[in-house]
Amino acid sequence: MTKEYSLDGYLGKIWTRKSPYSGSNISVYHSEQAGMDHSEGVKYHAVCEDHGMLMGETTIARAKSAALDSPSWCDECAKEDKKRHPNLGRQFQ
């Protein structure tokens, strides 16, 4: 039986923080419990709460890692990171 997750009143929400790069609110959800696509081995999602972008992952650890690196998959976080840290030299696709 899968552990039931709930945080801040959201079913499936496991973890939440501020992005160290963009300052955006980022979270990790159990995909199935949160009603997200959980096909093809995606069990967890990293979510940029401020911009509505998602990144599917196979483990909680990978989802947390992706969430903390939100500028690599959220274009708006990448723009904010560039504004906040213009000399950091991070490059995102």
Is residue 93 in a domain?
Answer: no
Total count of domains within the chain: 1
When computed from its CA atoms, the radius of gyration of the chain, rounded to whole angstroms, is 13
Is residue 52 in a domain?
Answer: yes
Is residue 55 in a domain?
Answer: yes
| Residue 16 clears pLDDT 70, i.e. is over it | yes
Is residue 39 in a domain?
Answer: yes
DSSP secondary structure of the chain: -PPPPEETTEETEEEEEE-TTT--EEEEEETTTTT----TT--EEEEETTTTEEEEESSHHHHHHHHHTGGGT-HHHHHHHHHH-TTS-----
Tell me the average pLDDT of the chain.
90
Q: Band the pLDDT of 90: cuts 50, 70, 90.
A: low
Is residue 92 in a domain?
Answer: no
| Residue 93 clears pLDDT 50, i.e. is over it | no
pTM of the model: 0.87
Q: What percent of the chain has pLDDT over 70?
A: 92
Is residue 91 in a domain?
Answer: no
Q: Which domain holds residue 38?
A: 6-84
